[in-house]
Amino acid sequence: MINVTPISIAAAAQSYAAELTEKLCQPYCVNASIQPVVDVTYTIDDTSLVGTTLYVTLFPCNECAKAIIQSGIREIIYLSDKYAATPGTLASKRMLKSAGITLRRLESDKAVLTLPLSE
């Protein structure tokens, strides 16, 4: 197995090539061990993540971004972006935007979310 760039950002990734060194390539390539997990995850019971929206508390890192792109998720709604200035998050945003995934920070006037875990 080999590491690959997510197919939907392959063209955009070509433009990054000039600034990529071998070490910096890591944020943009899907590790060969992750791809089979992504493939199985979105084909179990014919359930597809293609076109779905992902809700997360923290903006996805570059590793999660690659799996998200490969799964076909089309929108991410996040609560916090506290690591916005880190290289991993910058790479994540670059890939997600190149893949055309909508990124939206959750806006709410509520300070607390209560989630009941029983009926």
Closer CB to Zn ion, 74 or 78, in the complex:
78
Distance, in Å, from the CA atom of 99 to the CA atom of 65, rounded to the nearest integer, reads 10
Cα R_g (the chain), whole angstroms: 16
Residue (20 or 34) nearer to Zn ion, CB: 34
Q: Nearest distance from residue 26's CB to Zn ion, in Å? A: 14
CB of 63 to Zn ion, least distance (A): 5
| Least distance in angstroms from the C-beta of 61 to Zn ion | 3
| Beta carbon nearer to Zn ion, 106 or 116 | 106
